[in-house]
Amino acid sequence: MRTMWKIFVLFSAVLATLSFSIQLMVIHDNVVSLVTIENEEMKDISSFTLPFSPSKGIVVSNKAYFVSGKELIEYDLEREEIVRKAQMWVEDIRWSGKNLLLLSKKKILLLDPVTFSYTAVDLPEDPVDVETFEDELIVSYGKYVSLVKNREETWKIEAPSAVVDISVNAKRKVLAGITKDGTLFLVDLENVLAPKIVFFTGVENAKSVEWLENFLFVSSENRTIIMDTEKLNTPEVVKEYNVGVSSFVKTDGSIFFTSGNILYRMDSTLSMKRLGVAQRVFLVLSPEKRVITAGELLWKRNLGSEVRASPAVSDKLVLVADVEGVVHAMSLNGTRLWEYRTGFVVTAPPKVYLDRVYVTSWDNFLYAISENGNLVWKVELESDVSKPFEVNSYGVYLATDGGRVYLIDHGSETLWQFKDDEWVSTGVTVDENGTVYFGTLKNLYSLYPNGSLKWKTKTGYLLTTKPVVVGKYVFVGSNSGWLFCFDRLNGSVIWKKELPLTLNSTLSVYKDLLIINGSDGIYLVDFQGNVKDVVFAESPSPVAVSKEGFLFFVSNGTLFSYTIDGQKRWERKVGETIAEPAIGEERVIVATRDGTVYCFFDSAHP
């Protein structure tokens, strides 16, 4: 005896002129089976178990979106893992061609599958159905069908009773609807701003409608009629089946529907073919492009040499410099473009300014390289440069390991240099006025834009983090764990705070918070020195912070992304690194010690 299962089916289809191929997702409780149907023959592909039981869902390319309880869950079908979750009440899901349409309490939520953010369309009642037409939404709720344009109702039609289903034929520019009392109605949308009801009639117990070219399927629990609507105001019943329909799914040239536990297919010839066992069919999606979500690997490349410097991203290039002194340039799609070999190790991140790539090396040179990989000029310094430098419209600001600070313009001329009796222990920071800040063995220095000393303040500690300037403050960390806050104008110490800082700690800023990687996690500290939050992680790398407040760092060989309030967004295994990830052009770039460069998608901006 065959056990009766409650089965839900999600699938995506590819249709050819002479052949037919479709992939289905069959769900029983939380067990998923992928099958294909090729020319009416069903074949198993694979099965796996979900960690939840979905009630509703759709498949968009390589991702599935499920409703389970009060959660919307994004599931990666290739990796067989949950990508993201969102706490929300969702009654059903649709697809608009670029957004998920979520039917919620008195709202339609338009959710971007890439960013997982949404906008809401408020309604007076709970929505029953939603369709897209000419980039606008047609929504049914209560007794009404309305056109929503720019999140506002443009018009609405009142039906005799509650509307239970609608379907839009975009090619014919007509809408069909069914009400609770069995009224079938057709609306001419030729002028979308002035709809016209052209036909209505009673169909006993009808509960769903769906279009297939000129044919309209109207179904009840035990009967389906097919109407030819070539003449909209006088549609004609051309076929009738004594089968009820529990769900419809439409692709180009075919309709799939379930009756009882049987899945059928019908094409434009109106011939019905039995395919197999199924109790319900969800929406068919065949998007032209794969849906790429945050954290998805776009590409990776192995450079064949260790990398210690953070990568850089411009609007054209991904740049990575290795310990053998080679600068590798790749396109945003990962194509190798060129390499430039310096004379020795590179540990400072490359910088891109306009059409130039600037690189410092332990061979005592500053290099200016064109975007196509040709040397424009190089300047020899008295010592090597191993720490981060800055570039602005005036030129390149850098400090050598010999203790000199330089400003070199974009034509290779040295505009000024500064030397005191101390070794410069941090990278150089320049504010919007051209004032320069850097740390040494025991002091924090500030230089005027002309390179003369503005002030220096003794700390008594080896300063190790590149200074950060925010408002009236300058922040810098030390190897002893002290985080200092200085007055930007006169250099006086405002406060200091002891934290588990390391030699690899760096400072970043998001709004009114400092983001600092310590030995045991990521610390969020306000400008008064109060620790507001900690994201615990073992020996994390420096943190890249996006303007959206997303944090990116590597710990124990895994790249993590968190929100500013400590919620994990995603994680991906990469490999060990002490380098800060780079963000830009909706990409997150990580370079690991073994020389592998990873590029992940994320809609984050530096």
The residue type found at 280 is: R
> 320 lies in a domain?
yes
> 381 lies in a domain?
yes
Quote the pLDDT of residue 290.
55
> 402 lies in a domain?
yes
Q: Which residues contact 137 (CB under 8 A, 6 or more apart)?
A: 96, 101, 108, 121, 130, 131, 147, 148
Q: How far apart are CA 145 and CA 124, in angstroms?
A: 12
- Inter-residue contact 108 to 95 (CB < 8 Å): no
CATH number at residue 165: 2.130.10.10
Nearest to 249 by CA among 55, 423, 8: 8
Cα radius of gyration rounded to whole Å, the chain: 31
The tokens describing 452, both together, are 């003369």
Q: How far apart are CA 548 and CA 563, in angstroms?
A: 9
Q: Where are the beta strands (DSSP E) in 402-520?
A: 404-408, 414-419, 429-430, 436-439, 443-447, 453-458, 468-470, 473-477, 482-487, 493-498, 507-510, 513-517
The residue type found at 479 is: N
Last residue in a domain, options 368, 401, 419:
419
Quote the pLDDT of residue 55.
80
Q: How far apart are CA 554 and CA 560, in angstroms?
A: 6
Q: How far apart are CA 326 and CA 333, in angstroms?
A: 20
Provide the 3-class DSSP secondary structure of residue 244: coil
Quote the pLDDT of residue 115.
75
- What are the average pLDDT values for consecutive 10-residue runs of the chain, which has 606 residues? 35 40 67 68 71 82 83 85 87 85 93 84 94 91 92 90 94 94 93 90 90 91 90 91 78 76 81 74 52 84 94 95 96 95 95 96 97 97 95 97 96 97 95 97 97 97 97 96 97 97 93 95 96 93 94 97 90 95 95 96 85
Q: How far apart are CA 541 and CA 521, in angstroms?
A: 9
Q: Is there a single domain that holds both residue 317 and residue 241? A: no
CATH number at residue 381: 2.40.128.630
Q: What are residue 603's DSSP bridge partners? A: none
Quote the pLDDT of residue 23.
65
What secondary structure letter does DSSP report for 486?
E
Number of domains in the chain: 2
Q: Is there a single domain that holds both residue 241 and residue 313? A: no
Q: How far apart are CA 47 and CA 5, in angstroms?
A: 16
**Backbone phi, psi, residue 328, to 5°:** -105, 125
Q: What are residue 368's DSSP bridge partners? A: 358, 377
- Inter-residue contact 270 to 239 (CB < 8 Å): yes
Q: Is there a single domain that holds both residue 236 and residue 130? A: yes
Q: How far apart are CA 337 and CA 334, in angstroms?
A: 9
> 433 lies in a domain?
no
Q: How far apart are CA 72 and CA 85, in angstroms?
A: 6
Q: How far apart are CA 136 and CA 186, in angstroms?
A: 19
Last residue in a domain, options 201, 226, 245:
245
Q: How do beta strands 531-536 and 136-141 pair?
A: unpaired
Quote the pLDDT of residue 220.
86
The tokens describing 415, both together, are 């505009």
Q: Is there a single domain that holds both residue 310 and residue 241? A: no
Q: How far apart are CA 219 and CA 209, in angstroms?
A: 6
> 394 lies in a domain?
yes
Sheet with 436-439, side-by-side order of all strands: 429-430, 436-439, 443-447, 453-458
> 357 lies in a domain?
yes
Last residue in a domain, options 198, 214, 245:
245
> Which residue bears the tokens 């929100």?
563
> 445 lies in a domain?
no
> Which residue bears the tokens 């049987």?
262
> 30 lies in a domain?
no
The residue type found at 483 is: L
- Measured between alpha carbons, how far is residue 406 from residues 242, 424, 436 in Å? 87, 12, 10
Q: Is there a single domain that holds both residue 233 and residue 336? A: no
Greatest CA separation found in the chain? Answer: 96
- Measured between alpha carbons, how far is residue 581 from residues 255, 336, 588, 589, 599 in Å? 48, 19, 7, 6, 10
Range of the domain at 224: 124-245
The tokens describing 293, both together, are 């979500």
Q: How do beta strands 280-284 and 7-15 pair?
A: parallel
Q: Is there a single domain that holds both residue 327 and residue 403? A: yes
Q: How far apart are CA 139 and CA 8, in angstroms?
A: 25
Nearest to 565 by CA among 582, 548, 541: 548
